[in-house]
Chain A
């Protein structure tokens, strides 16, 4: 193919290209049977190869692809993986409940569950006023917000989601562990704030981005589980084939999770500092959650016609 690509060809030329491709396929096939001329065979082989690469080029437009992803294929993939995503939520939930109960047994569990960097001074020894202030203070300059946003994106939860997804290939065990540990952290935090009687405030602070963020983590966990299941229980397929098959949905889950983390990051970086009223925080957070849910549940229900 010349540098003009497929667009430079007229309709007749394109049709002729396909015909020529089939003709050269036939020639190659015949030549392999009757000719011993290596030079000719090599040439035909290369010609057929290049024709194949031109004829079977990807034929999708970028715009149509993005549209299809949002309208149908992403929500369908999420629905197909509903059980795995629920397992992700379950793993998070078990960790959270366990940590919550253990905290009330003995507050020193907090330090075991929450990594030092993440706690950032919030802990059983902190003053209630300081904790409360941490929930409601706003950032000062726009660059600060941008910095906070970026730092956040690169921080803990994104990392968890990345690891959880990609380690799913290792039979899903690291995925489950990561989800569980993340749940532990969450549960310990919740217990600390409830213990001080400011649980509701934490709920609002967490809800505004956490609904989206925790769902994203659960979806990433779900994607990891699917990859893990593909390796563990390949069924009638070979393991590689099974991985490829489940990878189709898992990749979509990864994109959805990344998208949700991006939105959560934007909210955490900007909206949480601007909206300091617990009721509005709840409204935004759970409203957004409802939007995600309706996208997943309702999106792509009508079967799209072929092409």
Chain B
């Protein structure tokens, strides 16, 4: 029955590349001086744009307040150029001070759970914060202001401004960390702040799941040879979603989950050659037991230097020998 998994190595390699999740790709890895790389999720363009809009709204509100205050003092409406200048004088200190005092998070970034980090894995320096926010002036606000008056410029100046805005706005789309030019100069990028979620360990809490069936599933070592880390973790995901503690799910959803678990259990049973029948309502208990024992087995193999990344591990081993 194990014959099925003896896939030709070429197909295996292809599939491995396809399924291989490159979580450890260097793009979102940050190595602090402690030498333990940490993976952060790079913030999406949309979230950053939204944060920027929120910050713009905040600074603009400050600007309006400042202009109203000025107006009550001098009594006249200030000229437009003064608005522009005041906006500059409010905006730059706001961004720099906010990112310095709140550890790389302006109010807009706070709302969206974003944070600026230094790509070298050290702390955010004052220089980096100043540089990335000053470059923002050159990149976004100055050409943006000119864009408002684009009619008053000559032909080649118009073309220059459009080119400038165009190039700098698409720049974050074409690098994997979504860095602006200012980010590149400052050596920073923006991440999503990780959220702390600790799900219960499935392998450690089998008692309640097994209570219903009253029988324990035991697997032989040769039955645990089939799967690798990838399959194990997919199974973990399946079991974690909509499990015991999740009472919010309706009867319909519970039924669907039960059905899919039964299908998975049947596949697993056939693949590993587990001869006893698994009843429909016991399939979750079966899968939990399978997960716990499979994990213990794989973790033990791993301690001996045998890291099985997925179910094609045997074909790799053979092709390596060749």
Contact status B36-A153, CB under 8 Å: no
Using Cβ atoms and an 8 Å threshold, which residues of chain B touch A169? 181
Interface string of A253-265 (1 = CB under 8 A from B): 0110000000000
Using Cβ atoms and an 8 Å threshold, which residues of chain B touch A200? none
| Closest B residue to A28 using CB positions | B36
Q: How many residues of B contact A (CB 8 A)?
A: 64
Using Cβ atoms and an 8 Å threshold, which residues of chain A touch B194? 45-46, 49-50
A-B contact count (CB 8 A): 147
Contact status A45-B38, CB under 8 Å: yes
Using Cβ atoms and an 8 Å threshold, which residues of chain B touch A56? 32, 118, 122-124
Q: A38-B233, A49-B38, A254-B134 are in contact. Are A240 and B201 (CB under 8 A)?
A: no
Which of B30, B101, B135, B184 is within 8 Å of A240, CB to CB?
B184
Q: A36-B233, A247-B186, A251-B131 are in contact. Are A29 and B122 (CB under 8 A)?
A: no
> Counting CB contacts under 8 A, is B97 at the interface?
yes
Contact status A154-B138, CB under 8 Å: no
Interface pick from B217-225, B259-267, B296-304: B296-304
Q: How far is the CA of A36 from the CA of B237 in the complex (A)?
A: 12
Contact status B97-A40, CB under 8 Å: no
Interface pick from B78-86, B270-278, B311-319: B78-86
Contact status A47-B196, CB under 8 Å: yes
Using Cβ atoms and an 8 Å threshold, which residues of chain B touch A39? 198-202, 236, 240
Contact status B236-A147, CB under 8 Å: no
* Residues 230-244 of B at the A interface (beta carbon under 8 Å): 232-233, 236-237, 240
Contact status A58-B81, CB under 8 Å: no
Using Cβ atoms and an 8 Å threshold, which residues of chain A touch B240? 39
Q: How far is the CA of A54 from the CA of B122 in the complex (A)?
A: 12
Q: A36-B299, A143-B76, A147-B79 are in contact. Are A154 and B32 (CB under 8 A)?
A: no
Question: Chain A contact residues: over half helix, strand or loop, or mixed?
Answer: helix
Using Cβ atoms and an 8 Å threshold, which residues of chain B touch A240? 184
> Counting CB contacts under 8 A, is B147 at the interface?
no
Interface string of B181-215 (1 = CB under 8 A from A): 10011110000011111111111000000000000
Using Cβ atoms and an 8 Å threshold, which residues of chain A touch B139? 166
> Counting CB contacts under 8 A, is A165 at the interface?
yes
Contact status B115-A60, CB under 8 Å: no
> Counting CB contacts under 8 A, is A12 at the interface?
no
Contact status A244-B79, CB under 8 Å: no
Q: How far is the CA of A169 from the CA of B193 in the complex (A)?
A: 32
Using Cβ atoms and an 8 Å threshold, which residues of chain B touch A21? 34
Q: How many residues of A contact B (CB 8 A)?
A: 53
> Counting CB contacts under 8 A, is B229 at the interface?
yes
> Counting CB contacts under 8 A, is A297 at the interface?
no
Using Cβ atoms and an 8 Å threshold, which residues of chain B touch A104? none
> Counting CB contacts under 8 A, is A52 at the interface?
yes
Contact status B36-A146, CB under 8 Å: no
Please indicate which of the listed interface residues A28, A34, A62, A247 has the most CB atoms of chain B within 10 Å of its own CB: A247
Interface string of A270-294 (1 = CB under 8 A from B): 0000000000000000000000000
| Closest A residue to B92 using CB positions | A258
* Residues 241-297 of B at the A interface (beta carbon under 8 Å): 295
Contact status B100-A58, CB under 8 Å: yes
Interface string of A1-36 (1 = CB under 8 A from B): 000000000000000000001100110110001111
Using Cβ atoms and an 8 Å threshold, which residues of chain B touch A58? 100, 103-104, 123-126, 129
**Chain A residues close to B by CB (< 8 Å):** 21-22, 25-26, 28-29, 33-40, 42-43, 45-50, 52-54, 56-60, 62, 65, 142-143, 146-147, 150-151, 153-155, 162, 165-166, 169, 240, 243-244, 247-248, 251, 254-255
Can you name 6 A-B pairs with beta carbons within 8 Å?
Answer: A36-B295, A38-B233, A39-B198, A54-B103, A162-B142, A247-B185
Beyond known contacts A45-B38, A49-B194: 5 more, CB 8 A cutoff: A21-B34, A37-B236, A47-B196, A62-B100, A243-B185
